[in-house]
Structure 1
Amino acid sequence: MDQKKTVIVTGFEPFGEHTVNASWVAVQELKKLGLGPDINLHVAEVPVEYQAVQTLLPSLWKQHLPHLVVHVGVSGMATTVTLEQCGHNHGYLRLDNSRFCPKSRCCMEGGPDCLHSVIDMDVVCRSVNSSGLGVTVSVSKDAGRYLCDYTYYMSLYLGEGRSAFVHVPPLGNPYSPEELARALRAVVLEMLELMEHSDGTKHCMHHQ
C-alpha cells in the first residue's frame, strides 16, 4: 500500500520589528488549505533562537520522517515570494531573541560552507510564475545569515538536501495571508512533483 507522504512546513515566531511574523501567519493559512488528500501536512512554529533550532529540527525530522521539509521566513526586503537554493554554514553574527549568538559563528563546525537543496528552485519558480497565480516568485542564493539561513543549513544537513526555504514579504506588502498561503501551496506541490521525478534512488528515507 502506498503510504501518504508527510510534509512539514514551518514558520518563525515574531522578532525585531516583525511583531507579527508573516511566515507563521502564512503557514497557518496553508494548514487550513491543506496539500490534498495524499499528503500529511504538519506545521510548526520555530523560535528565533539558534539553540532552540539545534534541538527542534532533529526532533522534527526524526519524529515525522518527512519526505520534504519547507521552512518559511519573513524578509523585510522581499517583495516577492523568494525560493532559497542553499544554506550557509558561516557568518552568523546577529544576536537571536534570547540575545545569544554561536561563538563559532557557524551552524556546524567542520561542515561544508554551503549546502544545496535537491530541488531546482529555478524550475519551481518558472512553473509557479507561469501558472497565473497572481503572486510573483523569485529565486535567491543568499538566505541572509540569520535564523532563516541557519535553520535551512541544519535542515539540509539533516534531510540530505530534502529541504527548502521560502522567504515571504511582510503581510500586506504586497500580499495578504491568503495569497501567501496559496503561493506556498503551489510552491510545495511543485517541489513534490519535481522530487517525484528526480528522486528515484538518491535519497532512501530508511537508511538510519
Structure 2
Amino acid sequence: MATVLITGFEPFAGETLNPSWQVASALQGWQLDEEVMVSAVKLPCVFKQSLLTLEQAVNQLQPAVVIMLGQATGCSQLRLEKIASNYIDATIADNSGQQPRNALTASHGPAAYFSNLPINAMIRALHFQHIPAQLSLSAGSYVCNHSFYGLMHLIKNQYASIKGGFIHLPCLPEQVLNKPDTPSMELASQIKALKICIEVSLQQHADQLLA
C-alpha cells in the first residue's frame, strides 16, 4: 500500500491550536482507496528539530507523496507554495527560543527549489469544489519555509521519486474569535481541501515549466 505523508506543526507564537496539525491529524489513517493511506506526523516549530523529524518520517514511511502544512495567519484561502527558498530570517523566535536571522537552511544548497506537486491541477480541482485557493510564490522565511526547503533538498538528493510540497492554511474560526478582521476557514472545509489535493497529487504529473 502506498503512503501519503501529511505533516503539520505544533502551535507557536502563543497559540493553542495550529490548523496544520488539526487537519493533518484528522487525516491520519484516511484511505483514498485500497492502495493509498495517509500517515500524519507532527513537526515541532523548531528550526533544527523540524528537519530531523521530517527526515526520520520520510526514511521510515518511504511515502509516494509528502504534503506539508503550515498556518498562515491573515490568509483567507489555501496557499499552495511553489518556491522553497534557501533563506532563514525569523522575525520571532521558534518554540525553542532560537531566532536565526539572515541564514541559510543548507549551506551548500541551491538558492531555491520548486515544489514538484501538480499545483495548478490542485488549484483547479479546489476551485471546482468552490474552495478558495491560490498559487503562492513565497513561503516566508520562518520554520515553514525552512522545512519545505529541507523536504525538497531531501527529495533532490535521496528520493527523486517522491512528490513533495507545502500548503499554507488559514486560521480556524476558534483562533480568531477576538480578531474580527482576521480571516478563517472551517476545519471541515480544510480537511475536504486536503483530500482533494491528495487525490490530484497521486493522479497528475508535476506542473510543466515552459522553456
- The TM-score with structure 1 as length reference comes to 0.85
| Partners of 1:62 and 1:101 in 2: CA distance | 28
Choose from 41, 47, 52 the match for 1:50: 47
Shift of 1:50: 0.7
**Given the superposition, is the C-alpha separation of residues 33 and 136 from structure 1 closer, same or farther in structure 2, using an over 3 Å criterion?**
farther
Choose from 1, 5, 9 the match for 1:8: 5
Counterpart position of 1:194: 204
| Partners of 2:18 and 2:84 in 1: CA distance | 21
Shift of 1:5: 1.4
Counterpart contact for 2:4–2:38, Cα < 8 Å:
yes
Counterpart position of 1:27: 24
Shift of 1:84: 0.5
Counterpart contact for 1:49–1:97, Cα < 8 Å:
yes
Unmatched 5+ residue regions in structure 1? Answer: 199-208
**What residue identity is the alignment partner of 2:186?**
S
Deviation string 1:25-73 (CA, Å, 9 cap, x unpaired) is: 1112223654332212110110000111131122111111111111010
Counterpart contact for 1:61–1:158, Cα < 8 Å:
no
Counterpart position of 1:40: 37
Indicate the percent of aligned positions where both proteins have the same amino acid.
23
Deviation string 1:66-105 (CA, Å, 9 cap, x unpaired) is: 1111101011021001110121111333421111134771
| Partners of 1:12 and 1:155 in 2: CA distance | 14
2:133 equivalent to 1:137: yes
| Partners of 2:191 and 2:85 in 1: CA distance | 26
| Partners of 2:64 and 2:7 in 1: CA distance | 14
2:165 equivalent to 1:164: yes
CA RMSD of aligned residues (A): 2.1
**Given the superposition, is the C-alpha separation of residues 196 and 142 from structure 1 closer, same or farther in structure 2, using an over 3 Å criterion?**
closer
| Partners of 1:109 and 1:197 in 2: CA distance | 28
Unmatched 5+ residue regions in structure 2? Answer: 157-161, 174-182
Q: Once superposed, which parts of structure 1, at least 4 consecutive aligned residues long, lie more than 4 Å away? A: none
Specify the SS of the correspondent of 1:148: helix
- Count residues in correspondence: 193
**What residue identity is the alignment partner of 2:203?**
E
Counterpart contact for 1:125–1:137, Cα < 8 Å:
yes
**What residue identity is the alignment partner of 2:82?**
Q
**Given the superposition, is the C-alpha separation of residues 61 and 169 from structure 1 closer, same or farther in structure 2, using an over 3 Å criterion?**
same
**What residue identity is the alignment partner of 2:142?**
Y
Choose from 74, 79, 82 the match for 1:77: 74
Shift of 1:157: 1.1
Counterpart position of 1:126: 124
Counterpart contact for 2:88–2:102, Cα < 8 Å:
no
Specify the SS of the correspondent of 1:195: coil
| Partners of 1:56 and 1:20 in 2: CA distance | 20
- The TM-score with structure 2 as length reference comes to 0.83
